[in-house]
Amino acid sequence: MLANATLQQNFLDDFGALGNDELHAMMDMMAKNNGAAVDNWINLRALNINPEYKNAEVLADNALSSRYVNYYSVPNLKTELQKFDGISRLEFMKSTVSQVTPLPDKGYLSMWLKVKMQGNLANYQTEEILRKFENFDDALLDKAVYEMAHTGQRGKDVRTPINQNADDIITQFKPILEDPNRVWASKEMLSPSWERWRKSYFYKFITNVGRKFEEFVNVRFAIRNSSEYNALQNWMISNGIGKNLDDYDLFTSVQLKYNAIGNYFVADQVFVQYIKVGKFKKIDDIIVIETKLKQTTATSANQKAAINAAYDGNFSGFEMRNNTRKSKYYDYVVADESHGNFKFNGQPTIIKAYDLDNGEEISGFKRLTNLDNN
């Protein structure tokens, strides 16, 4: 059966550890059909399709072995299949979705595996649907599967239109996953079937980017002389705000009450200047920074009310509400509501710091007053 000495040695390397009965059964199987299984073993071994080149089920099935060879002969498909465990790879190769012409792209294989791992997406392992994901990269596929598998209404709002029209994966689903800002595209481009999901996804995107931007600003303002810190200082000087940030402490995410009822807003960053009154420190000035994704992003209802209150003749001041905040500059400084140590009765400076939509860069600043409160 194996006249070549090298092949004989390879055979012993691969199957020599089998018991006598198993080894004889393997040899009998390989001898059938004019040694077709031997050819399969040689071909799979040459492509290092492991452990399948030692799997009797694969070697005995000419069509299955040929399928492995066809897929592994395409470099990007081979790379993708090597990410599968052996069991999943065999399951894919035995499935009807592997028996397609032409061979699929790697996104097809990757999506098949990701869908397989989601119990509620078994119905989406079809050629028609998997073909639509061929040009998705891994990051985009992860987003797609997360949205499709989402429990409750949100996931249903993705699966339902896909079930109705698989082409929507390319024309409706993919564009929003790539860029959530496309929710503002022309109505002719956006199907009503996807409207509820689009709004939900866009809200999640904006919320996440907003948090990312706020944290970015927190980190950069906490470094005196960072480019962002200096940009704020220079902007204030150029806009007639004669205050030196080096004279201020910094606290973040501070809940500030702005009226006697106790209504409050959360100030993203608060620069605080203290003066000494006898043995105690008192707040002499504060600069409130509100981070927004765009220059045109409006303030929240509570922020708007707080800004209007700050410019009202009866303004009672800002006072910390039920939380404790540690200084970003001095580890030993902690601000809380005790003894009124975070209360300011004067006129605050309130500034919007806005982003470039990516959460990673301050695009500019804008002063917020009751006359320009957005």
pLDDT tens, position by position, 269-280: 999 998 876 666
Q: Is residue 268 very low, low, confident or very high in pLDDT (cuts 50, 70, 90)?
A: very high
C-alpha 256/C-alpha 215 separation (Å) is: 19
For 31-67, the pLDDT digits (tens) are 676 668 888 988 999 999 999 988 888 988 999 999 9
Q: Is residue 349 very low, low, confident or very high in pLDDT (cuts 50, 70, 90)?
A: very high
Domain count, the chain: 1
14 with 54: CB under 8 angstroms? yes
| Residue 111 belongs to some domain of the structure | no
Task: Tell whether the model's pLDDT for residue 370 goes beyond 70.
Answer: yes
| Residue 119 belongs to some domain of the structure | no
Please give the pLDDT value at position 128.
96
Provide mean pLDDT across the span 314-343: 76
Task: Tell whether the model's pLDDT for residue 164 goes beyond 80.
Answer: yes
Q: Considering the chain, what is the average pLDDT of its residues?
A: 88
Task: Tell whether the model's pLDDT for residue 10 goes beyond 50.
Answer: yes
| Residue 300 belongs to some domain of the structure | yes
Q: Which residue has tokens 């452990």?
A: 51
Please give the pLDDT value at position 55.
87
Q: Is residue 339 very low, low, confident or very high in pLDDT (cuts 50, 70, 90)?
A: very low
Task: Tell whether the model's pLDDT for residue 314 goes beyond 90.
Answer: no
Q: Is residue 23 very low, low, confident or very high in pLDDT (cuts 50, 70, 90)?
A: low
Please give the pLDDT value at position 331.
79
Task: Tell whether the model's pLDDT for residue 332 goes beyond 60.
Answer: yes
Q: Which residue has tokens 């702005």?
A: 258
Least confident range from 86-95, 166-175, 234-243, 297-306: namely: 297-306
| Residue 116 belongs to some domain of the structure | no
| Residue 348 belongs to some domain of the structure | yes
| Percentage of the chain modeled with pLDDT above 70 | 88
234: domain range? 225-367
pTM: 0.70
| Residue 138 belongs to some domain of the structure | no
3-class secondary structure for the chain?
CCCCHHHHHHHHHHHCCCCHHHHHHHHHHHHCHHHHHHHHHHHHHHCCCCCHHHCHHHHCCHHHHHHHHHHHCCHHHHHHHCCCCHHHHHHHHHCHHHCCCCCCCHHHHHHHHHHHCCHHHHHHCCHHHHHHCCCCCHHHHHHHHHHHHCCCHHHHHHHHHHHHCCCHHHHHHHHHHHCHHHHHCCHHHCCHHHHHHHHHHHHHHHHHHHHHHHHHHHHHHCCCCCHHHHHHHHHHHHCCCCCCHHHCEEEEEEEEECCCCCCEEEEEEEEEEEEEECCEEEEEEEEEEEEECCCCCCCCHHHHHHHHHHCCCCCCCEEECCCCEECCCCCCCEECCHHHCCEECCCCEEEEEEECCCCCCEEEEEECECCECC
| Residue 162 belongs to some domain of the structure | no
Residue 146 CB neighbour total at 10 angstroms:
14
C-alpha 86/C-alpha 208 separation (Å) is: 37
For 145-161, the pLDDT digits (tens) are 999 999 889 999 999 99
Task: Tell whether the model's pLDDT for residue 1 goes beyond 60.
Answer: no
Task: Tell whether the model's pLDDT for residue 262 goes beyond 70.
Answer: yes
| Residue 7 belongs to some domain of the structure | no
| Of 80, 36, 85, nearest in space to 58 by CA | 36
| Percentage of the chain modeled with pLDDT above 90 | 59
